[in-house]
Amino acid sequence: MAEPSHRFVDHTSEIGLQVQAASFGELLAEAARGLARLMLREAPAAAEGETRDFEVSAHDRESLLVDWLNEILFVAETGLWIPLEIEVLEASDTRIRARARGVTVELSPSMVKAATFHGLEVVETADGLSAEVILDV
Amino acid sequence: MKTVTKYPWERINPWLVEIPASAREDMLVPARIYVDDVLWERAIGDRTLEQLVNVATMPGITGFAYAMPDAHEGYGFPVGGVAAFRAEDGVISPGGVGYDINCGVRLLASDINFGEVRHRLEPLMTDLARAVPSGAGKGGRLRFGGEDMNRVLADGCRYLAEIGMATPEDLERTEAEGSFRRADPGKVSDKARDRGRGQLGTIGSGNHFLEIQRVERVFDPAAAEALGLYKGQIVILIHTGSRGLGHQVCTDYVRAMDEVMARHGIKLPDRELACAPFQSKEGQAYFGAMCAAANFAFANRQAITHATREVFKETFGDEGGLRLVYDVAHNMAKLEDHSDGGTDGGQIVVHRKGATRAFGPTNPETPEAYRDFGQPVLIPGSMGTASYVLVGTDDALQRSFGSTCHGAGRAMSRTAAKKVKHGSEVRKELEKQGIVVRCAGLGELAEEAPHAYKDVDRVVDVVHNAGLARKVARLVPLGVIKG
């Protein structure tokens, strides 16, 4: 199985986050890592301190992916904390429980406004799953 | 050679192209794009047209789905898009407003000439940057929470007038007097309030800015006089919106509508177009929350105005007064009566996403002071380029539901812009033009560099020639504070 990976895709005004992973749980974790990179504006950072637990539910894969990323945005912006090391404790198509260690930031990283549904589809590939989320920046 | 797109199209006049409703079988109305030949090439370069055609399929859409000359691909709706839905049986869509609810522009006019500022620009910009925080998530000096926050959400600038941060004249010269009466703070989530806490009076990131500018050229002296503008005058342009609070309101309601669309029997080509009937419980809840977020945005620009006035007073004394010329939104959905405007509905919900309301002289919503000329329309250029003041026309009501462009419009992705020029180079070029820049990071400077945008002069010429708004003055920047 391929290692999970992400890359940023060009868009005239926003940023596309393309993610692939072997399972849906890993896809969610990898999407969060991509989002963290953006929020840190690629600055190097190491996880420190205590862990935080996340639990997000939604009605299908796409809405769970969007809700999960928006929950991370919310925590980052209001709690000045960005998750870096993400451990998926439990994941289904409609629910994720995860534990994360991250980094405290001085300024609220609100460069990304939201994860959107635009053209979003979690698709099965030969190696697992892939999705492209357009982030409003 | 005829430009190749996947949709059939026809040029109606040198400023307007139409895609007929027959272009795709799910379209309910034709799509119209205000562009000259050069901007048309830009429009077909990304997913703008496909997104516009998607909008034309939404329930209750009336007239045409419009794109302005600065349009580019967004998510769901194109940025620079205008769509009106019948209030009776049409929809309202959070994605048709965008995450930055009531992102907008306000123009302040001074009585100071360029010569009086030239040698004091550096310290003035430093003081302004200190008084008006910018940058992603940077907190402001104002800490509204609890009941204060409810008042801001319910009353916008009217509340700021009560606490001495706005004058009666400020209210008269703000769209809807800076206070949408339909606001329902109870429909704004705790999460949205948390994101907005401490952000009132701050600019934020992305393409938002505060600029000190000089009136470089006057096209229409009579209108300029009515607006209190003259050549060589120092003015201030503020471009920002509802910050994290608005982002969260949109996030909350895109999700809520995504879940109820099926129940309302709505099926759309893109999930980000999530919408609900305007008259439904969900539609009304979003409308109330969006109006509240819009009030927060008006109050944000007013709080920035208040801080800017204090700095000008400290620097220039009694000469440093700043009059509000106008404040207008470019990310909004509004319930408007267009029964005289040639639409079949009368009451319509006009979504302007990256499009500025541009009402003419006879419209009752145009402030008294501007009734001879039309509502001021403020078009910010990209960083370091010109901005424009225009006035709306009565004709725009039939031609674009009383709407016009909102800026230069991006032409290049952020990654591509950074590849063309590094931030330090962009800063050097701006400084060479005598522009003082206060910006958090070089990456942000490169992403927002002038070459990443379309030519604002060309964009404005199209709306002027198409009769959507008339040019009054051209402004050039002297100092920029960016997020």
CB contacts of B242 in chain A (<8 Å) are: none
Once rounded to an integer, what is the mean pLDDT over residues B436-452?
Answer: 85
Does the distance separating the beta carbons of A113 and B247 come in below 8 Å?
A: yes
Residue-level pLDDT at B407: 94
Summarised one tens digit per residue, pLDDT across range B446-459 is: 888 888 999 999 99
Q: B-chain residues within 8 Å CB-CB of A122?
A: none
- Note whether A41 contacts B441, CB cutoff 8 Å: yes
Confirm whether B406 is a catalytic residue: yes
Cβ–Cβ below 8 Å for B243 and A110: yes
> Helix (H, G, I), strand (E, B), or coil: what is residue B334?
strand
- The confidence score (pLDDT) of residue B441 equals 76
CB contact under 8 A, A74 and B415: no
pLDDT (0 to 100) of residue B259: 94
- Nearest 5°: phi and psi at B442? -75, -30
Q: Count contacts between A and B (CB, < 8 Å).
A: 105
Cα Rg of chain B, angstroms: 21
Q: Which of B406, B482, B417 is nearest to B450 (CA)?
A: B417
Q: Quick: pLDDT tens for B46-61.
A: 999 999 999 999 999 9
pLDDT for the residue B401: 97
Check residue B1 and give its pLDDT: 39
pLDDT in tens, B457-471: 999 999 999 999 999
The predicted pLDDT at position A41 comes to: 85
Among A59, A74, A114, select the one facing B99 at the smallest CB separation: A114
Q: Which chain B positions have a beta carbon within 8 Å of A118's beta carbon? A: 74-76, 270-272
Q: How far is CA B177 from CA A19, B79, B186, B474, in A?
A: 45, 25, 21, 25
Nearest CB to A118 within list B206, B258, B270:
B270
Q: Which pLDDT value is given to residue A1? A: 61
* Range B11-17 average pLDDT: 98
Residue B143 above 80 pLDDT?
no
Q: Which of B271, B353, B410, B415 to mutate to test the interface with A (most CBs of A within 10 A)?
A: B271
CA distance B269 to chain A (A): 9
Contacts A15 to B, Cβ<8 Å: 414
Point out the least confidently predicted range of A126-130, B133-137, B345-349.
B133-137
Per-residue pLDDT of B78-91, as tens digits, reads: 999 999 999 999 99
pLDDT at A113 over 80: yes
Q: How many Å apart are CA A74 and CA A82, to the nearest integer? A: 10
SS3 per-residue string spanning B120-179: HHHHHHHHHHHHCCCCCCCCCCCCCCHHHHHHHHHHCHHHHHHCCCCCHHHHHCEHHHHC
**Given this model, what pLDDT does residue B57 score?**
98
**Residues B389-415: tens digit of each pLDDT:** 999 999 999 999 999 999 999 899 988
Q: What does the mean pLDDT of chain B come to?
A: 94
∠ CA A67-A51-A88 to the nearest 5 degrees?
Answer: 50
pTM for the model? 0.96
Chain A (10-69) residues lying within 8 Å, Cβ to Cβ, of chain B: 10-15, 41, 59, 62-63, 66-67
How far does chain A reach from its first CA to its final CA, in angstroms?
32
The model's confidence at residue B376, banded by pLDDT at 50, 70 and 90, is very high
ipTM for this prediction: 0.94
How do residues B208-251 score in pLDDT, each as one tens digit? 999 999 999 999 999 999 999 999 999 999 999 999 999 999 99
What's the pLDDT tens digit per position in B159-192? Answer: 999 999 999 999 999 999 999 999 999 999 999 9
Q: For the residues B98-117, what does the mean pLDDT come to?
A: 97
3-state helix, strand and coil shares in percent for chain B, rounded to the nearest 5: 40, 25, 35
Residues of B in contact with A119 (CB under 8 A): 75, 270, 272
Averaged pLDDT for residues A93-116 = 92
pLDDT at A39: 92
Q: What is the mean pLDDT of residues A2-9?
A: 92
B330, B406, B422, B451: the catalytic one is: B406
Q: How far is B73 from chain A (nearest CA, A)?
A: 6
For residue B205, give the nearest of A66, A110, A118 by CB distance.
A110
